[in-house]
Amino acid sequence: MNYFSRKIKRIKELGIRNSAFCSIKKIYYRILRLWFGFDAWHARAPFECRPYKQVVVDLCNSVRSDVAVEIGCGLGEIISRVNAGKRIGLDTDPHAIGAATFLYGNENTLFKTGSSDSLGDITGKKVLVIAVNFHHGFTPDEAKLFFDHIMSSNFNFLVSDRTLLRQSGWYDHDLASMYPGTLRVAEKRHDVENVRELFLYEKIT
């Protein structure tokens, strides 16, 4: 497939509006990166460029949570679009947190440095946790430690994903199998690029 065929296919996947915003925001994020110093891949992946992010938001908004927490929030494009009374974005990169705060921080949306072991003080009647598009890089032991922190916290719903790509160094973590009798798959979807499955899990014990 040549360059122009790939571009046309991509525009069809994203739509004309999102394709335009994708290009514009890539330029904007490259400029922001000069100031905040976050990793370059954030600038290559604005919300409009990654259809799976909309699927994640739709899954999150199918649950009426009063607190939503995203682990690995990056620049905050997902968590800022979740309908919740309180939104918290966590990331291990303080540079990304600085940019997310600049872009989307407000009285209802807080960004801070942290990971799954930072959930201990999260309280709420209905808590939603989001963890997508990074743990495929974890070994099985690393994934178990990461998700054990989530499982021991106060939450009701979890949105996560499984990669369908088989690349070197990538792992496929099946949370329903990892925590049988504790997590129930409430809904499963595919992204339009068909490279990942996205899950809404409900904690049942």
Extended strands (E) in 5-103: 67-71, 86-91
* Distance between first and last Cα of the chain: 49
- CATH no., domain 51-203: 3.40.50.150
- Domain map of the chain by residue range? 1-49, 51-203
Q: Say if residues 49 and 14 touch (Cβ distance below 8 Å).
A: yes
Q: Would the pTM count as exceeding 0.75? A: yes
Higher pLDDT, 152 or 173: 152
Helix axis angle for 3-14 and 16-36, nearest 10°, is 100
Q: What pairs with residue 157 in β-bridges?
A: 128, 202
pLDDT tens digits for range 26-81: 999 999 999 999 999 999 989 998 889 999 999 999 998 999 999 999 999 999 99
